[in-house]
Amino acid sequence: MCHTIANAFMNITELNSSLEAIIRKKEELSKLSYNDARYDDVEEELHDMEDDFNDNYGEYLEEVLAEVHDRICPDSDVLLPTAYLPNNLAGDEEELSHKEGVWVDSDEFPDREVRLVLIPNPTRLILSVGKNIKKEVWKA
């Protein structure tokens, strides 16, 4: 069943909350060593959260990602939405590391490291080009 735009907008708050929760869990996991007794449990919780996120929002976000890819990086494959998430919650896109998100090939920025990253508050996709260029390419 396709998500309609209206249906997607009704769940934007939940989508944003889910994004935040997954990123917080990724932050928690990154602070644990492999030897920590909690590591496997936290990692399992993260994978369950990512699976639930893809089940609940994947179809909608994959359509969004396909449209963004067609417009910006048509030679790059669309991945699962959770692949585009950063490893921590930056204050805003200016604080976002240029190493976050999915590496894509962009005709607009040939021979540059270009990434797409899905961030919350508000839910949006940021195109990151090197350390200096960050531009919003979609907003929920």
Per residue in 71-80, pLDDT (tens digit) is 999 999 999 9
Low-confidence winner among 62-66, 76-80, 107-111, 114-118 (lowest mean pLDDT): 107-111
* pLDDT tens digits, one per residue of 47-66: 999 999 999 999 999 999 99
Cα separation of the two ends of the chain: 20
Q: Cα separations (Å) of 4 from 8, 57, 63, 67, 68?
A: 6, 12, 11, 15, 17
Q: How far apart are CA 122 and CA 139, in angstroms?
A: 7
Residue pointed to by tokens 């994959």: 62
pLDDT for 10 beyond 60: no
Q: How far apart are CA 17 and CA 56, in angstroms?
A: 13
Instruction: Report the pLDDT value the prediction gives residue 58, as an integer from 0 to 100.
Output: 93
* pLDDT tens digits, one per residue of 27-50: 999 999 999 999 999 999 999 999
